[in-house]
Amino acid sequence: MPKVNPQILVWARETAGLSREEAAKKLSMSGPDRIRALEAGERDPSRRQLTNMSEKYRRPLLTFYLPNPPKSSDRGQDFRTLPDEPEVGSEALINALLRDVYARQGLVRAALEEAEEDEALAFVGSASMEDGVETLVKSLRELLDFTSDDFRQEKTVNGAFAALRAAAEKAGVFVLLMGNLGTFHTDIDAKNFRGFALADDVAPFIVINEKDSRAAWSFTLLHELAHISLGQTGISGQEGTVEIERFCDSVAAHFLLRPEELVEIGAQNNADLDELKHQIGDFSNKRNLSRKMVAYNLLRSDIIERRTYNALSAIFDDERIAQKIEDEKPKGAPDYYVVRRHRVGLGLLTVVRRLVAGGALTTTKAGRVLGVKPTAVNRIFDGSRAA
């Protein structure tokens, strides 16, 4: 068996976002010292250990026999404006998540080509910033056959997102909810990663960080759909300062909210912060909107000052985190397959089921696309028969 470069082991673990302690647990080793010895070249890994690492680190087995660690793969453009002190290890987690997305998308596109269903989507890359915000908003409404009125008619934030997501999937875009690598230990905060757009003309993917507030998911979907319309693959954060991010923010905001509506809030800089929070909350709830998005648009419209927005933003972030903690408290285990279906979306489930039935996609590859074991593929299909 070829000798393994220990640097490959270090690289594979770190790019999977794992500490030595976490890796030892995942690999069922006695402790981090065993990992350290392998990575220092003091011991050679066995074939079984490499196979286990391949699975847990999410790397092809052949990767471990490369002479040197590969260069970082291109994840498209990075549109983010990151916090001054991003969370330690967050970039490694994001890189691992994006590798996963690229792998899934590649399998879907290849299967569509095999099935001769690879007709190019005309809207991908069809727009330009020079066309202006309102032109792209109009194009998206026509593409989705969906308006802000349709969005607001839904009774809940969840219902509004589901309706918008269904419209995007009907247009040919796969919309996934992903906020970690499969366990809460690898959660990625929305401050570091809000969404990702893969602007492929056959199988475009949008990833939304499910760790963000549910009210923010719809805004992110539209923001990333704007990137795809512009033909741009890349990762987005919150409150981007680069021109393209502000443009896509404006497209998403104008799709959901007419700027002139903001005056209905009655916001003033000298208003009591708690009162302003409730005014924004009432306004947002009636329209299925994110409070933070509304506050950000008040800032961009010069209705409130930066210091007021920063204070509101901190409050909304704290409440979002507190709500997430409350939502994740044990209340009886949710059905595994229901959760998986929700994360991958009915659009992807429907296409993968059809490709498997037609022989263009094996159950092993289908499991990879859907994020489940091959033996669970038929079970995850069972709940989407109505599609």
Q: Which residues contact 27 (CB under 8 A, 6 or more apart)?
A: 35, 49, 52, 53, 56
318: left (phi over 0), alpha (psi -120 to 50) or beta: alpha
Sheet holding 205-208, edge to edge: 77-78, 234-236, 195-198, 205-208, 174-177
Q: Which two tokens stand for residue 17?
A: 């976002």
Question: Which token pair is 160?
Answer: 């509004």
Q: What CATH number labels 6-65?
A: 1.10.260.40
The position carrying tokens 């916001």 is 267
Residue 118's identity, in one-letter code, is D
- Distance (Å, whole) CA 207 – CA 227: 12
Residue partners of 264: CB distance under 8 A and separation at least 6? 283
Asked if 280 and 272 touch (Cβ cutoff 8 Å), the reply is no
Parts of the chain belonging to CATH 1.10.260.40: 6-65
CB-CB contact of 81 with 241 (8 Å)? yes
pLDDT of 386: 42
Least Cα distance to 20 among 5, 29, 41 occurs for: 29
Q: Can you give the pLDDT at residue 387?
A: 41
Three-state secondary structure call for residue 268 = coil
Q: How far apart, in whole angstroms, are the C-alpha atoms of residue 369 and residue 367?
A: 5
**Quick one: pLDDT at residue 268?**
74
Spans of the chain below 70 pLDDT: 1-2, 70-75, 82-88, 269-270, 328-333, 383-387
Q: Do residues 121 and 204 lie in contact, with contact meaning Cβ atoms separated by under 8 Å?
A: yes
Where do the DSSP E strands lie in the chain?
77-78, 174-177, 195-198, 205-208, 234-236
Q: Give yes or no for a contact between 233 and 77, defined as CB atoms under 8 angstroms apart.
A: yes
